[in-house]
A and B are shown apart, each in its own frame.
Chain A
Amino acid sequence: MHRREWVYGWLFLTPALVFLFAFTHYPAFNTILGSFFSTPKGRKPAEFIGLENYRDLVADEVFWKVLTNNFWFALGTIPISVALALLMALWVNGRLRGTTLSRVAFFAPTVLPLIAVANIWMFFYTPGFGLIDQFRSGLFGLPAINLLGNPDTVLGAVIVVAIWKEAGFFMIFYLAALQSIPPVLREAADIEGASSFYYLRRVLFPLLMPTTLFVSINAVINSFRLVDHIFVMTDGGPDNASSLLLFYIYEVAFKYWQTGYAATLTVVMLVLLSILAIGQFFLFDRKVHYQ
């Protein structure tokens, strides 16, 4: 009996594991290995070059630019979208009128492909034709502005789009958490005469802490993973002002075909994600109140 379980266990697992290893673990391992090799060119195979790719990485201004962009993109997107998500969830979960319609409005952008979202927002941003400029010239007689063409504003413009797309998604997790909080707590707070604000700060927020952390981690991962909108809106420009790490990896690998260097850049991504995982592990263990 015991032995049969053993065999069955492996038998049932094998199909999934084959694909999992082939497209996650093997490529992850190969990425790390590949970062120590040069890019094969024509008949010249890849050579072991030690840390040369990493030396290039440190000297690569575009890399630092892209990493900084990613940092500001994450910092601009995450706090606002998480705060909005919490607000949306509190409203939608409450007894206000029109919650169903509001929930639809908040969640709908989440269902759209990011490519479609970017297309929709292009109607706002395009200089001259876009809705923003139409309003500026129509109502105030202001000249056209090119938000996506200016290195100072492009990242901000993209951040707005990301917030619009993501807040509704995070709202869902808060909604789920809110619905699992027993109503007894609210009643107790009412009996004790606690104000709504006090209840929010002392009861709800601590109980929602695991959700906040979960959502934040997801938001950080998404800020690395989602780059589709860049293809439509800016192509990374102007002057790499809106390029993000994954987009740069794509460019290096599939535009310039520098696969060795692209592997090095991917290692940076893997390291960043691992730091995140370790951080998550410790935060989840210590700082978070469980119900």
Chain B
Amino acid sequence: MNLLRRRGFDFGVILNSVAMWTLAILWALPLLYAIWTAFHPAAYETRFVLSAPLTLDNFVKAWNAAPFARYFLNTFMLVTMILASQFILCTLAAFAFARFRFPGRSILFSLVLLQLLVMPDILIVENYKTIRALGLVDTIVAIGLPYIASGFGIFLLRQTFMSIPRELDDAARIEGCSFIGLLWRVYIPLARPTYLAYGLVSVSHHWNNFLWPLIITNSVETRPVTVGLSVFSAVDAGIEWSVINAATLMTSGPLLLGFLLFQRQFVQSFMRAGIR
């Protein structure tokens, strides 16, 4: 409205608006369609009438057809374990890189950066051998192990730590603060936005991860939801589409819901984590 007032009838603005809405609707359609089929009886899969009765039957069927409760528990444990370990390991390493001078620092840092390119995702063959040698095949710990020392996390936190003024260090040290105290009282609190950003990126990444969990797990007790979902929908005979769709929405539901509720923080976190 204020646009119209300021510039009068602006053809460019209208054209751009219409184009943006068109693309946005196009982009939203697949998801909206999935939501439609999941909340309606199978008969309305391709009949789009507003009077179609809403139902939660599909979700109930999906929930009862596969051990999704267990899958969710697995994913929850996996994501929590990875996040906690990443925070601890990456914080310590990032602090060392940001504040201590020691021999081998720059070489070690470039080795850390190497992981941004050579990700554990592509080293599945050798990592499988390692996990087997450790006797950890088909455990939740095994899914997380390759990811807990994250080069990306170390890099991100190091950048943040380096931007914290040295004067704060010195002040804390004069007060008799130890290195751990310094980290705990000064650095970590000041880096809170980075932790939030990295946390959101990490959780969504590992919630969604599929290939490695698929390889390393083979039982209900360890499978995360992504693998559980693929096992569930691969049984093609007998399961209705709307039920598969309900399961699909269910597995991505928590992330999607979190995103819709905190979408500004989400987007900002991804932005913050993205600028290297």
Contact = CB atoms under 8 A, between A and B. Distances in A.
Interface stretch (B53-61, B64-72, B89-97, B188-196): B89-97
B103 interface: yes
B230 interface: yes
B115 A24 contact: yes
B3 interface: yes
Interface string B98-131: 0011110100100110110111111111111110
Main secondary structure of the interface of A (DSSP, over half): helix
A34 B92 CA distance: 33
Most buried by B among A98, A108, A131: A108
Nearest to B90: A16
A168 interface: yes
B256 A108 contact: yes
Interface stretch (A57-65, A69-77, A115-123, A181-189): A115-123
A34 B126 contact: yes
Contacts of A259: 125, 129
A24 B130 CA distance: 11
Contacts of A94: 16
Contacts of B89: 15-16, 19
Given A6-B100, A228-B210, A231-B230, A106 B24 contact: yes
Given A23-B149, A120-B34, A176-B275, A98 B24 contact: yes
B33 interface: yes
Given A13-B96, A249-B125, A254-B215, A6 B118 contact: no
B159 interface: no
Contacts of B215: 250, 254
Interface stretch (A145-153, A201-209, A261-269): A261-269
B25 interface: yes
A253 interface: yes
A266 B147 CA distance: 19
Interface residues of B, number: 93
Contacts of B119: 24, 225
Contacts of B74: none
A236 interface: no
Contacts of B130: 22-23, 26-27
A9 B46 contact: no
Contacts, number: 268
B24 A102 contact: yes
Given A9-B101, A98-B20, A113-B251, A107 B267 contact: yes
Interface in B16-50: 16-17, 19-21, 23-25, 27-28, 30-31, 33-34, 37, 45-46
**Secondary structure of the B contact surface, majority rule:** helix
A248 B124 CA distance: 12
Nearest to B92: A12
B271 A97 contact: no
Smallest CB-CB A-B distances: 5 pairs:
A27-B126, A9-B100, A19-B149, A9-B102, A16-B93
Interface of B: 3, 12-13, 16-17, 19-21, 23-25, 27-28, 30-31, 33-34, 37, 45-46, 88-90, 92-93, 95-97, 100-103, 105, 108, 111-112, 114-115, 117-130, 145-149, 151, 154, 179, 204, 207-208, 210-211, 214-215, 225-226, 229-230, 233-234, 241, 244-245, 248-249, 251-252, 255-256, 259-260, 263, 266-267, 270-272, 274-276
28 contacts: A10-B102, A12-B92, A17-B108, A20-B149, A23-B127, A23-B149, A24-B114, A24-B119, A25-B111, A91-B19, A92-B20, A96-B16, A97-B3, A98-B24, A113-B210, A119-B229, A119-B233, A120-B30, A129-B45, A167-B27, A172-B267, A173-B271, A176-B272, A231-B214, A246-B122, A259-B125, A263-B126, A266-B125
Given A96-B20, A119-B244, 11 more contacts: A23-B120, A96-B17, A102-B24, A107-B259, A107-B263, A114-B210, A115-B208, A123-B241, A124-B30, A138-B46, A250-B124
